[in-house]
Homo-oligomer: A and B are copies of this chain.
Amino acid sequence: MKIPPVKGTRDFYPELMRVRNFIIDGWKAVSLRNGFEEYDGPIFELLKMYQIKSGDEIAEQLFNLVDRGGRELAIRPEITPTLARMVNQQINSLPRPIKWFSVPRLCRAERPQKGRLREFFQWNVDIIGVDDVLADAEVIFTAVDYLREVGLKEGDILVKISSRKMLAEILLSIGVGQEQFDSVYAVLDKRSKMPAEAFEEMLVGCISDSGKRAKVIEVMAVESLEQISSIIEVDEKLTTAIDEVQRLFELLSVMGIAEFCQFDIGIVRGLAYYTGIVYEIYDKKAELRAIGGGGRYDNLLKQFGGPDVTATGFGMGDCVLGILLEEKGLLKAASVGGAIDYFVAYADGQYQNKAVEITAKLRGKGLKVNFSYKGGNLGKQLKQASSQGAGASIIVGQEIENGQLAVKDMHSGEQKVVGVEEFWASL
């Protein structure tokens, strides 16, 4: 009976698995060199954990299950609630700042489309316990450090940055009340994805006053921090928020990644939980969905029953990133299997045991080795060695009776007979 895979999931055959490993190993290495430590949580959590952060509607996007004890669970759609839970559990014993990263497998019950699957991997990098915008700069640097590491250039990607704190002060200055913020954020977040008229129409739904609406539209069109003060009144709190964004850009410049970063007041992030700097990473041609995004979320730990400790971080999925890397030709080397060190061939079935013995011994020494199961024609065996990219082939033949092996360099084609002892000593 033939059973198909589930729609929106991937089968990682060896070639695709190598690509996945290339992406994930890079995430891990860059996280470590930036001083982050790896953590992970369970693949499922209690359903209500996700509802705390994202409201009851989130249940619609989850793969829910009920365990034998009748507990409502969900496969994790994100790892941030798990992070908040784990940090809160050990808040008093964890040395701060907490610089953690993770590469969770996540599932969302969405309609699969380009760059969006129902199962994917997401790099998460977070700093907990540092108020300073320096922490925001550091996580942005870590993202760019990785993207550069895999071969992307200034011309390929752009981190678009703004501040929710600043946006809040702007809205207050215009006269939009705090109680309207969540709905206004949701609309502003969609601005770049729709025609201007459609956006303005949506805005009517949450800001009834046309004068205020006009101001919001005007301010959402600024291209620099400096322009803001020419449109609205800038009070002390707004000044502080703008200064913070300016300080962030100064740090990004000091870190050598200014060319990858741009102020963009249109970056709002839909989620209610952001409280400061927010950003999204795009391919520069803006043809794909966001590669990643994040920001400061100072209230989450508290929301999860913990203390008032600040946090900032980002997430980057493997799907859109994979499409971009593929387009740029940066996955070619990764998709090819690693070569083997040795292939062990044998001239006759009677030498099979000897070939097996040598193979086992070489592997035990950490070398990557294959051998022929069937033996037979030596030319065919050496062809197999070539196709596996063997650096050298060992041929077990009659010489073994005199304690000797033939070793063939598969690059130069040179073949020489060496003593068995000599061979092992040469490794």
Contact = CB atoms under 8 A, between A and B. Distances in A.
B45 A3 contact: yes
Contact of A85 (B5, B34, B366): B5
Contact of A12 (B5, B40, B109): B40
Kindly report how many copies of this chain are found in the complex they form together. 2
A333 interface: no
B35 A100 contact: no
Contact of A255 (B30, B86, B356): B356
Interface stretch (A65-73, A196-204, A232-240, A277-285): A65-73
A282 B257 CA distance: 53
Interface string A212-225: 00000000000000
Interface stretch (A153-161, A176-184, A315-323, A367-375): A367-375
Interface string A128-167: 0010101101000100010010000000000000000000
Given A13-B90, A43-B107, A90-B13, A304 B2 contact: yes
A335 to B, nearest CB: 12
A262 interface: no
Nearest to A61: B68
Nearest to A10: B42
Contacts of A109: 67-68
B340 A9 contact: no
B6 A71 contact: yes
A206 to B, nearest CB: 28
A370 B99 CA distance: 11
Nearest to A255: B360
Contact of A63 (B44, B305, B368): B44
Contacts of A100: 14
Contact of A37 (B4, B90, B337): B337
A329 B21 CA distance: 30
A367 B33 contact: yes
Nearest to A49: B3
Interface in A1-37: 1-7, 9-14, 17-18, 20-21, 29-30, 32-35, 37
22 contacts: A1-B303, A3-B52, A3-B85, A4-B46, A6-B45, A9-B44, A11-B39, A12-B41, A14-B100, A17-B39, A33-B366, A33-B369, A34-B369, A42-B119, A44-B75, A44-B107, A44-B119, A63-B73, A137-B356, A148-B364, A255-B357, A256-B361
Interface of A: 1-7, 9-14, 17-18, 20-21, 29-30, 32-35, 37-46, 48-49, 52, 63-65, 67-69, 71, 73, 75, 81-82, 85-86, 88-90, 97, 100, 105, 107, 109, 119, 130, 132, 134-135, 137, 141, 145, 148, 250-251, 254-257, 303-306, 337-338, 340, 352-353, 356-357, 360-361, 363-364, 366-370, 373
